[in-house]
């Protein structure tokens, strides 16, 4: 089903880089260099080890890491989401969901041996990956529950995306485009996710303006 891969790529492309791309929630391994405070957010702190942990996870799942400054901004946004989710007593993902998330990470590699080699090269333990996947699910599930009800996608939006994105992409690949009826549910969900991300971005921008934040990365940040 080559058309499914085509739609999947478009689903990924249409999504903005939302908050829960990869989320460290705890300090990293004992081998971490001497730690220091990277930022103060209200009465909490973000450690340099948190920045390094997210960088390693990004290297695993995306092949490269953002700069330290970009990662710190991402961690501040994640602090906002986590604080509200915790206050709302939002349920954490089940062990089954976390295991499925870890399996998705593993299956993004061509083989188990490739995954194990890459994991060892980066210096990530299985427990760290599981912790990050669990945290990622927690934040993404909260954002979904908060903003999905107000994500409105009209039939014309689906039709426009099909005509302007799905069909041209299939033609570029020399493939026959799937029918609109076949692609409709995939496209609808992609547009819902885009709306969720856009709403989350606006909310986070407003929330950041009300926070007391002191960034302390300074020299040494990439």
CA angle 202, 98, 89 (to 5 degrees): 55
Q: How far apart are CA 53 and CA 124, in angstroms?
A: 9
Q: How far apart are CA 221 and CA 162, in angstroms?
A: 42
| pLDDT value at residue 221 | 54
CB neighbourhood size of 144 (10 A):
16
- How far is the CA of 219 from the CAs of 52, 68, 80, 216, 222, in angstroms? 15, 11, 25, 9, 9
The full 3-state SS of 77-145, as one line of letters, equals HHHHHHHHHHHCCCCCCCHHHHHHHHHHHHHCCCCHHHHHHHHHHHCCCHHHHHHHHHHHHHHHHHHHH
CB neighbourhood size of 202 (10 A):
11
Q: Which two tokens stand for residue 162?
A: 């099909």
Q: Is residue 154 packed enough to be buried (19+ CB in 10 Å), middle (13-18) or exposed (0-12)? A: exposed
C-alpha torsion 37→51→208→216, nearest 10: 30
Q: Which domains does the chain have, with CATH numbers?
A: 2-215 (1.10.4030.10)
Q: Which two tokens stand for residue 151?
A: 């994500």
Give 74-83 pLDDT, tens digit per residue: 999 999 999 9
Q: Which two tokens stand for residue 66?
A: 């953002």
Q: How far apart are CA 72 and CA 80, in angstroms?
A: 13
Q: Which two tokens stand for residue 195?
A: 């709306």
The proportion of the chain whose per-residue pLDDT surpasses 70, expressed as a percent, equals: 83
Q: Largest alpha-carbon pair distance within the chain?
A: 57
Q: Which two tokens stand for residue 7?
A: 């739609």
Average pLDDT, the chain: 86
Q: How far apart are CA 164 and CA 170, in angstroms?
A: 11
Number of H helices, E strands in the chain: 9, 3
Give 159-187 pLDDT, tens digit per residue: 999 999 999 998 998 888 899 999 999 99
Confidence of residue 35 (pLDDT cuts 50, 70, 90): confident
| pLDDT value at residue 158 | 96
Give 185-222 pLDDT, tens digit per residue: 999 999 999 999 999 999 999 999 999 999 998 744 55
Q: How far apart are CA 125 and CA 135, in angstroms?
A: 16
């Amino acid at each position: 089903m080559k058309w499914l891969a085509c739609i999947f790529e478009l689903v990924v492309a249409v999504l903005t880089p939302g908050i829960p791309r990869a989320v460290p929630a705890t300090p990293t391994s004992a081998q971490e260099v001497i730690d220091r405070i990277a930022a103060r957010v209200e009465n909490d702190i973000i450690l340099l080890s948190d920045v390094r942990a997210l960088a390693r996870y990004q290297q695993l799942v995306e092949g490269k890491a953002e700069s330290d400054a970009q990662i710190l901004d991402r961690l501040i946004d994640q602090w906002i989401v986590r604080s509200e989710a915790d206050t709302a007593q939002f349920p954490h993902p089940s062990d089954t969901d976390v295991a499925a998330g870890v399996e998705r990470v593993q299956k993004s590699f061509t083989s188990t041996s490739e995954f194990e080699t890459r994991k060892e090269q980066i210096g990530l333990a299985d427990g760290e990956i599981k912790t990050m996947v669990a945290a990622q699910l927690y934040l993404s599930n909260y954002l979904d529950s908060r903003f999905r009800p107000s994500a409105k996608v009209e039939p014309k939006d689906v039709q426009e995306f099909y005509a302007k994105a799905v069909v041209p992409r299939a033609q570029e690949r020399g493939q026959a485009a799937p029918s609109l009826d076949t692609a409709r549910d995939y496209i609808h969900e992609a547009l819902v996710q885009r709306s969720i991300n856009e709403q989350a971005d606006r909310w986070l921008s407003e929330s950041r303006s009300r926070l007391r934040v002191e960034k302390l990365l300074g020299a040494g940040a990439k």
